Amino acid sequence: MSDPRASLLFALADDELIMGHRLSEWTGWVPYIEEDLALSSIAQDEIAHARMLLDILSVIDGRDPDALALGRAPSEYRNAILCELPNTDFAFTLARHWLYDHADDVRLRSLQESSFKELREAVAVMLLEERYHLEHADAWFRRLADCPVEARHRFGEALAAAMGPAEALFEPLDDESAIVSAGIAPAYTEELHDEWRARIGGMLDEVGFDQVLASRAEPATGEMVPTSSGEIEASGEAEARTPSVGAGGRRGEHSEHFEPLWLEMTALYRAHPGARW
Amino acid sequence: MKTLTVDAVRDALRAVMDPEIPTASILDLGILHDVRLTGDRIEIDLLPTFAGCPALDLIREDVEEAARALAPDTDVVVRFINDPPWTTDRLNQEASAALKAYGISSPLLQIGRAQQITCPYCGSDQTVEESAFGPTPCRTIRYCNSCRNPFEGFKTKR
């Protein structure tokens, strides 16, 4: 029987690790230096947060943090598919960043009340740093929503494309009832999902992007299929507990984009086992 | 033989500087949290400023070295902990001068202390944030509207 704490930690750490890896791909490519530093710094923070969580997990799991981050097979990662999707363009990157960081904020705030001391302490540190990610994402959200036609249009399209997989950040975890009944997570992911939708719904309404959230994805419906990009398709089989398109990550069922990412992320670790800086 | 005291260890660690801000001691930055002498062991708890700070391992090594130099026959155990979380409220008065000497402005500090972020070059408080993200996780990029210089600010974390 696996430890329910591990199930929660794998999901949290893998989201941060994979988001951090994707964001790091922007380093050196962003159109101007301040934004290059911003996305690179956020990537650095996310990977550092993954390390904090994997340090805690390491005590439960027995493997060292590097082995947990880089030594697992692709099907052992529990990140949401949203995190592994290609950056695509700046609009999609910022749309995902905004949706993800609000979701992360909702769950971290909830975990401030966790019964799991080490996690609670790590979450307190993470929240102090995530505050800047959220401010960055919100600043871009308002800026792009206020833009003339093309930028606003592309950002709206990107939000719609990212929305389905973003909902799947709230797929139930393995052992979720055990996690909640032990107080490790004080709330079910479904409650966090509602809180997140209410929060982002209000902000989307304010800027006239309410159509992004227009339909609540129900099991096995295709309503959240993105408007333009073919890259946001469901990879897992639709089933009762699958809330939306782009689900499956919490069960280790990833999209076709995961393996290329994994190959690059783990290349050094696999080529030189046990290497140290 | 001189008896080892907590104060002696803290004094020795005052010489350990932040590798990325070489004018600032880890004591002034509030990174040193606790020193305990237990039997024949020195236990030192440090607080990471930012989780993604790449200097953390270097700081740990420098702290170990400084403690060993003080007491060569004593076991030294140095660890980073997350509780309490490090915040910029832990900076002391010396830290402001140390940061300024390196061209970095102080963060907003707790009530009753500096409330404006002043330019480290000309002292003006007519400064604005250009970006919350600078060359390291703990720094921001600011601009002084008086002397028209860009400068780095220590990021407020609280």
The interface predicted TM-score of the complex, written ipTM, equals 0.90
State percent of chain B over pLDDT 70. 94
Which residues from chain A sit within 8 angstroms of residue B131, using beta carbons?
Answer: 34-35, 37-38
With 0-12 CB in 10 A as exposed, 13-18 as middle and 19+ as buried, what is A84?
buried
Answer whether residue B17 shows pLDDT above 60: yes
- State whether A129 and B50 contact (CB < 8 Å): yes
d(CA A136, nearest CA chain B) in Å: 8
Domain locations along chain A: 4-271
Nearest to B152 by CA among B136, B138, B140, B135: B140
Bin A244: left if φ > 0, else alpha if -120 < ψ < 50, else beta: beta
In sequence order, the 6+-apart residues with CB closer than 8 A to the CB of A71 are A63, A266, A269
Nearest to A247 by CA among A159, A185, A135, A166: A166
Q: What pLDDT does B116 receive?
A: 80
Q: What pLDDT does B115 receive?
A: 62
Is B137 at the interface with chain A, CB within 8 A?
A: yes
Chain A interface disruption, residue of B61, B80, B82, most A CBs within 10 A: B82
Give phi and psi for B105, each to the nearest 5: -80, 155
- State whether B85 and A124 contact (CB < 8 Å): yes
Is B120 at the interface with chain A, CB within 8 A?
A: no
Q: What pLDDT does B109 receive?
A: 64
Cα angle A108-A112-A115, degrees, rounded to a multiple of 5: 120
Containing H/E element for B104? strand B104-105
pTM, entire model = 0.90
CA distance A37 to A33: 6
- Tell me the average confidence (pLDDT) per consecutive run of 10 residues in chain A, 277 residues long: 91 98 97 93 98 98 96 97 97 98 98 98 98 97 94 96 96 95 97 97 95 58 43 43 73 97 96 83
Chain A interface disruption, residue of B56, B60, B133, B156, most A CBs within 10 A: B133
Q: What pLDDT does A1 receive?
A: 54
CATH architecture assignment, domain A4-271? Up-down Bundle (1.20)
First to last CA, chain A: 36
Q: What pLDDT does A227 receive?
A: 42
Burial of A183-213, coded b for 16+ CB within 10 Å and e otherwise, reads ebbebbbeebbebbbeebeebbeebebeebb
pLDDT tens-digit map of B27-65? 999 999 999 999 889 999 999 999 999 999 999 999 999
State percent of chain B over pLDDT 90. 82
Packing angle, helices A149-167 and A90-111, rounded to 10: 40
Strand B104-105, strand B127-131: pairing:
unpaired
pLDDT tens-digit map of B143-153? 999 999 999 99
In sequence order, the 6+-apart residues with CB closer than 8 A to the CB of A250 are A11, A78, A80, A168, A171, A172, A173, A174
